[in-house]
Amino acid sequence: MKLLHSPQILKELADEAWDMGNIVYTLTNRRYGENCIAYAESHDQSLVGDKSLAFWLMDKEMYTNMSSLIPMTPVIDRGIQLHKMIRLLTHALGGEGYLNFMGNEFGHPEWLDFPRKGNDESYHYARRQYNLLETDHLRYRQLYNFDRDMNRTEDKYGWLAAPPAFVSAKHEGDKVIVFERGNVLFLFNFHPTRSQTNYRVAVASPGKYPYGCVLRSDV
């Protein structure tokens, strides 16, 4: 199993302090030929006392600012983009299989709490709120659509069944990660304030490559 969602990164590090090399190492540090299942969020992390990946990123604004009928706030904008990027990076670089826990695919905001003495045997938080996904004007739908498109793209190109990725860039200053896997070139810009234009990247084999963007996190 490989887990990218490190609470330390989200709790303790500013965006500009994220270590690209350490993230890549965490996702690729496994014995060659030994299949590995990767996931960005586990069931246990959503239990009482911890937060889901989405809630670490967007916190209380998930209760008030997820509607597309109001302007996007900086917190929600950052959270949605990072939620997409973290899942795709884990999916493409983390192993030979990808594991998703119920609700993670659309950024479920709340914790899980199973009936116990401490909550008077309540089932109130022992559920996933799929009504959030089914409400068209909420941005949870946007997160789900990306998850759907991510899996469809993998079905088409088959990177999970491909050999380990060729990582050509882990640039700390630019906060960029670039790698190839399954005949797909992946480019991630984690820089909190700077877009990258006309950015040159290396590829494993020389030649001319037709450019075609098959999946974007910023739409």
Secondary structure class of 95 (helix, strand, coil): coil
pLDDT band at 161 (very low <50, low <70, confident <90, very high): very high
pLDDT at 93: 95
What letter would DSSP give residue 174?
T
Query: How would you label 80-111 residue by residue, b for 16+ Cβ within 10 Å and e otherwise?
Result: bbbbbbbbbbbbbbbbbebbebebbbbbbbbe
Contact assessment for residue 97 and residue 39, using Cβ atoms and an 8 Å cutoff: no
Average pLDDT over all residues of the chain: 88
Q: Which two tokens stand for residue 55?
A: 């809630």
Pick the range with the lowest mean pLDDT from 8-22, 80-94, 154-168, 173-187: 8-22
Cα atoms in the 13 Å half-sphere on the side-chain side of 131:
2
Task: Kindly state the average pLDDT of the residues 123-152.
Answer: 91
Does position 27 have pLDDT exceeding 80, yes or no? yes
User: Higher pLDDT residue, 9 or 191?
Assistant: 191
- Its pTM stands at 0.89
**Pick from 15, 157, 14: nearest CA to 91:** 157
Pick the range with the lowest mean pLDDT from 97-106, 179-188, 201-210: 201-210
**Pick from 144, 161, 134, 47: nearest CA to 100:** 144
